[in-house]
Chain A
């Protein structure tokens, strides 16, 4: 439990290069993530994930390190420019398994600053996470 973040680990039988394609290629993202996907695969690149029923969620690419690490941020309100809405950051890390499969580690951070921008900006969400972990158990 790390407080203001969501963390997921997924075991996949596919090799790492295959998983990398699936999470970075817009056409493939549109097969499993959104109904439509745009992703300019370079730091500072723009992107968006669109769902017919929900709208278009603007994204910004933060880091691209093929074939193992991808970081992008996305807004939590549809149909707004990236700069105009609070965003969370999603980090994807792919690790090769000895059997040829891939471990996908995903972490989405920045939730609390969504709600409380400007308050003690930076770092305190992590500190709070430790506190929640300590006190909540």
Chain B
């Protein structure tokens, strides 16, 4: 989980993910073109994204093709789900309170 957050904390890596989303699977050389940095620097970003499970590399001929994986981003959303559920409960109690009903059990 921490890996995903750290991986997307960097603006370049977010741009790489965006680019892969728009363009589909790409080789390192194709991915290096739009970014004003060395191929080595792009490779380093790609390895961090791969560690976080946000992209997947597959060797195709002499090149490694990188493709986007969205599952870890869904985990980020799932991480927020309990907070959303807590608000559903609280707001439900507010609604009951305003309707002059007796609020039920409370929790943060």
Contacts and interface: CB of A to CB of B under 8 A. Distances in A.
Nearest to B22: A134
Given A10-B95, A32-B94, A106 B8 contact: no
How many chain B residues sit at the interface, stated as a range, is 35 or more
Interface string B85-108: 001101101111111000100111
B5 interface: yes
Contacts of A34: 106, 108
Ranked 3 nearest A-B pairs via Cβ = A32-B97, A32-B93, A14-B98
Interface of B: 2, 5-6, 8-11, 14, 17-18, 21, 68, 70, 73-74, 76-77, 79-80, 83-84, 87-88, 90-91, 93-99, 103, 106-108
Given A23-B94, A116-B5, A120-B11, 15 more contacts: A6-B83, A8-B88, A12-B95, A14-B98, A28-B97, A33-B90, A51-B106, A106-B91, A111-B79, A124-B14, A127-B14, A134-B21, A135-B68, A135-B73, A136-B73
